[in-house]
Structure 1
Amino acid sequence: MQNFGDAFYFTVVAVSTVGFGDIVPESGEGKLITLAMIISGIILIPFHAARIFRTWLRNAQEKKVLICQSCGLDRHDVDAKYCKNCGSSISDENPSS
């Protein structure tokens, strides 16, 4: 590697597993670092994607179905007292199935 730009390019290519082969590590240490980057990418990306999905799913399950009489929005937080779209008051008297 001649400069920081080459190193950054190689890192992105290696972590994304594209691997064009135009820049390759020549030393044993470089190969070990490359191997560590690839393995960490393979482990960390699905782990964080699962965390994001789990958070999204939990937030979706914490919503309750109440229809705002003013604007018709039907998904509100469990403790909502006002519509997040129009600001009108909502109540438990109008749940939908």
Structure 2
Amino acid sequence: MKGVVLDDAAVLLADDDNVATSIRDLETGRSIASDDFPTDRSVLELAEPIAFGHKLAVASIDAGEPVRKYGEVIGSATERIEPGEWVHTHNCESNRGRGDLAEGSA
């Protein structure tokens, strides 16, 4: 997959991503319908507003689990994130550029 647009609201960039990127400002309660969600759901309801360019969870992500975008791990959830929630610095810690998290670091 090179990206799938979800109901003209967001783009899912890879099959195993658990977040999508909004392609417009999205309001709380907006329903996004798609057969391309990584779970067996076909409709996702937004729990909060998601600004253009921001991430939204398309699957449940437990605290400590990886957040995947572009088919790569971009961070870790710092708390449980439910489908339809905004994913940002308040609930996700970036792993990119973190030498202290590199394999074999002490």
Determine if the TM-score, normalized by the shorter chain, exceeds 0.5: no
Length-normalised TM-score, structure 1: 0.24
Higher strand share: 2
Highest RCO, 1 vs 2 (Cα 8 Å, sep ≥ 6) = 2
Length-normalised TM-score, structure 2: 0.23
